Amino acid sequence: MSNISSITRLEGSTGPVFRRDHQKADGRRLSLYSYAPHDGPVREELLRPETAPGELRRDPLRNSWAIYAPHRQSRTFLPAAAADPLAPYRPGAPTEIPFEDFELAVFENRFPSLAPSLEPGHLSDWASGAAIGQCEVVVFSKEQVGSLAALSQARRVLLIEALIDRYRCLHEAGFAYVMPFENRGEQVGVTLPHPHGQIYAFPSVPAPQLSAVSAFAAGYDLVGEHASWNGKFDVTADGDLTAFCPPFARFPYETWVMPRRPCAGPWAMDAGSVRSLARLLAEVPRRLDALFAQPMPYMMSFQAAPRGADANFQFTVQFFPVLRSAGRLKFLAGVEQFTGVFTVDVVPEDAAERLRAL
Amino acid sequence: MSNISSITRLEGSTGPVFRRDHQKADGRRLSLYSYAPHDGPVREELLRPETAPGELRRDPLRNSWAIYAPHRQSRTFLPAAAADPLAPYRPGAPTEIPFEDFELAVFENRFPSLAPSLEPGHLSDWASGAAIGQCEVVVFSKEQVGSLAALSQARRVLLIEALIDRYRCLHEAGFAYVMPFENRGEQVGVTLPHPHGQIYAFPSVPAPQLSAVSAFAAGYDLVGEHASWNGKFDVTADGDLTAFCPPFARFPYETWVMPRRPCAGPWAMDAGSVRSLARLLAEVPRRLDALFAQPMPYMMSFQAAPRGADANFQFTVQFFPVLRSAGRLKFLAGVEQFTGVFTVDVVPEDAAERLRAL
């Protein structure tokens, strides 16, 4: 069976990119992104187990939200290589991706925390009880091992073009805040070693992003402030993008990547900036890995403007590495969990100096 | 040398308790709490290394704070039993506690994140740059192994009476928010296995506690709401105290202990409530340990009213256990770190049912 009818040509800033849309037998959407139209036949695939929808509840004391998704307890946990659900299809071994070859794949998570609403009218209602949203998995490559740094530069550019398309699609679907992110390493709870990221699309804007919108609206100028630091916090640069340790970092060796001019999100970058970002998405993890001569476990996220809030918002890509020294994790224990105040063993300017020297 | 001049008799709600104050040779304060006046001679003791003061910085986008304390990188890390700094003095082996015997000891942390101000006028200035505050270590017993549950009931009562005294002393010293807490288990970053807790005294009220003060001031009635749940979230009870899983828990098996009547802090409890709390400080960890038949790593904290904010504030003791199933930790990864939204695999009413049945 072959179904190649739904191929879309996307005009990325770096050139054309193709998206092939496929609806899985259980209803989930999957998109393949590639530099040439993908025309392989559809094969057998992994299906979503029956799940109850998740539930959102508000903590009245913290005024914060939690998502209850008990079906996630049964999610795939560190499978053997032969059972890798993010690999391409092999005869007798169905995976999430029912094709024998692919460059980059995005599909709806089999064990989502947030599930699309059956009634789109509920989209903006955070407190409705149902955990409405969309959780997507972004598979960087068909290779089962690797990292952002190990991908080719062309593949990282394709990844950024694909994320720009996901922002567009999910904003158009009505979601208020779209967050691509990567958890890397078992030390941050990664349950699938195959290199991948995720996208969460939220029906409303979470508190830290609302706070950032307010700060930018009130005139906070991160680009201007960065310039005033005279390189003291800089790690490296590429074209008009900079990588730096923010002076107010919460994690040891926390590093941000940012265009050195106003830019609300990756959708507002030109081809040169996309290529620079693609190189820095390799360069920053490479330096973090070199720091303690071991793969650095981290959380990374694209922090772009919420839907419709481009004005004054400054786009950053933030890396939160979790080792504080070789083999020693930074734990978020009592003080962080109960007060939100982070204790940090490394001063950001010293972190920047070490990462710059590598 | 013996110096027993500074013994204070405290009138606890459960009876008299004695505090012996000692100033260490490096200037730090140490207090021994006991049921009978402590009169042992002072011995040689561990001294604080030279340290630079920490620094506070505000994140302008999150409007949150971080404390930079690089000297903490050299703090004691999982010492051998013979080098336990929380043990009593033994000839040739000085520890933090220069006495051959003690019941319960509280002293200023050798590697503090927050340091007392040299200029008390700065106490209320969170943004001053210097990390002002006080960090204390609370040693539960002279035994090197054990847990809250393994202590005698009398010792847990003494612990609560000592904490009530610490609240009083630190509020009188001008600190706005006093937080006793315990991190338990290497999985939450504990670096000293000797059973102990900590106290942080902050110069201003951290954001989650400010939010709670606002919610209570706006009329949120946790005691009334708990009564309306008709036991659905209850784990156990003792006297007029209840232990329950809050419906909006952020950690699997999160459990709170609370007086079932208005009470702003442990200082407002009568003798019966103190004894009930002491028993529940054993009973809750015992059930958490039984859940997966292994010691449950957790963060526990007394959440009492900030100084001068008793009106309408409801005191709770909160346990945040970090195992989501046997051997599997709940990680706070990309979604939690970047959005503050917690994803939880266990619904609180199910957690309560399991803990209730143990």
Q: In the sheet where B64-68 sits, what is the strand order?
A: A342-344, B64-68, B55-59
**Is B249 in the A-facing interface, judged by CB distances under 8 Å?**
yes
pLDDT score, position B3? 54
Cβ distance of B331 and A189 shorter than 8 Å: yes
Mean pLDDT across chain A: 90
Cβ distance of A57 and B247 shorter than 8 Å: yes
pLDDT score, position A128? 47
Cβ distance of B342 and A64 shorter than 8 Å: yes
* B306: DSSP letter: P
**Residues of chain A contacting B299 with CB distance shorter than 8 Å:** 333-334, 337-338
Residues 325-354 of B with CB under 8 A from A: 325, 328-335, 337-348, 350
**Residues of chain B contacting A329 with CB distance shorter than 8 Å:** 189
Of the candidates A65, A61, A207, the one whose C-alpha atom is nearest the C-alpha of residue B303 is: A61
Spell out the residues 6+ positions from residue B93 whose beta carbon is closer than 8 angstroms to its own. B82, B83, B87
**Is A324 in the B-facing interface, judged by CB distances under 8 Å?**
yes
- Per DSSP (E only), the strands in chain B are 7-12, 15-23, 29-34, 55-59, 64-68, 104-108, 134-139, 177-184, 196-202, 234-238, 241-244, 255-259, 298-303, 316-321, 323-325, 328-329, 342-344
Segment holding A178, helix H or strand E: strand A177-184
Of the candidates A66, A70, A37, the one whose C-alpha atom is nearest the C-alpha of residue A51 is: A70
User: What does the buried/exposed string (b/e) look like for A197-210 if buried means 16 or more CB atoms within 10 Å of the residue's CB?
Assistant: bbbbbbbbbbbbbe
Of the candidates A291, A257, A281, A238, the one whose C-alpha atom is nearest the C-alpha of residue A148 is: A281
Cβ distance of B70 and A248 shorter than 8 Å: no
pLDDT score, position A83? 85
pLDDT bracket for residue A323 (50, 70, 90): very high
Q: Distances from the Cα of B117 to the Cαs of A336, B121, B160, B246, B313, in angstroms?
A: 22, 8, 27, 37, 28
Cβ distance of B325 and A209 shorter than 8 Å: no
> Which structure tokens are listed for A47?
């299906």
For A280-302, the pLDDT digits (tens) are 999 999 999 999 999 999 999 99
> Which structure tokens are listed for A95?
């995976």
Cβ distance of A70 and B345 shorter than 8 Å: yes
Please state, as a whole number, how many other Cβ atoms lie within 10 Å of the Cβ of residue B310.
16
| pLDDT greater than 80 at residue A163 | yes
Distance CA A179, CA A177 (A): 7
Mean pLDDT across chain B: 90
Dihedral over alpha carbons B106, B107, B112, B114 (to 10 degrees):
80
pLDDT bracket for residue B329 (50, 70, 90): confident
Range with the poorest average pLDDT among A322-331, B237-246, B293-302: A322-331
Cβ distance of B220 and A60 shorter than 8 Å: yes
Distance from CA of A134 to the nearest CA of B (A): 13
Q: Distances from the Cα of B69 to the Cαs of B56, B113, B145, B245, B345, in angstroms?
A: 9, 6, 29, 34, 34
Of the candidates B166, B161, B171, the one whose C-alpha atom is nearest the C-alpha of residue B202 is: B171
Cβ distance of B335 and A300 shorter than 8 Å: no
pLDDT score, position A125? 41
**Residues of chain B contacting A346 with CB distance shorter than 8 Å:** 68, 70, 73
pLDDT bracket for residue B56 (50, 70, 90): confident
Q: Taking the model in full, what pTM does it have?
A: 0.91
For B20-42, the pLDDT digits (tens) are 999 998 889 999 999 999 999 99
Percent of chain B's residues with pLDDT above 70: 91
pLDDT score, position A57? 85
Distance CA B29, CA B11 (A): 21
Of the candidates A27, A204, A208, A206, the one whose C-alpha atom is nearest the C-alpha of residue A122 is: A204
Cβ distance of B211 and A69 shorter than 8 Å: no
- Across residues B301-324, what is the average pLDDT? 96
| pLDDT greater than 60 at residue A29 | yes
> Which structure tokens are listed for A184?
């890397």
pLDDT bracket for residue A121 (50, 70, 90): very low
Beta strands A29-34 and A55-59 are unpaired
Instruction: Choose between A328 and B351: higher pLDDT.
Output: B351
Distance from CA of A109 to the nearest CA of B (A): 14
Distance CA B137, CA B190 (A): 13
Residues 117-176 of B with CB under 8 A from A: none
Distance from CA of B336 to the nearest CA of A (A): 9
**Residues of chain A contacting B138 with CB distance shorter than 8 Å:** none
Distance CA A142, CA B309 (A): 58
**Is A308 in the B-facing interface, judged by CB distances under 8 Å?**
no
For A173-207, the pLDDT digits (tens) are 989 999 999 999 988 888 888 999 999 999 889 99
pLDDT score, position B204? 85
Please state, as a whole number, how many other Cβ atoms lie within 10 Å of the Cβ of residue B77.
10
Residues 48-77 of A with CB under 8 A from B: 55, 57-70, 72-73, 77
Q: What is the DSSP string of A60-111?
A: TTTTEEEEE-GGGGGS--S--GGG-TTSBPBTTB-BSB-SS--SEEEEE-SS
pLDDT bracket for residue B73 (50, 70, 90): low
For A233-256, the pLDDT digits (tens) are 999 999 999 999 999 999 999 999
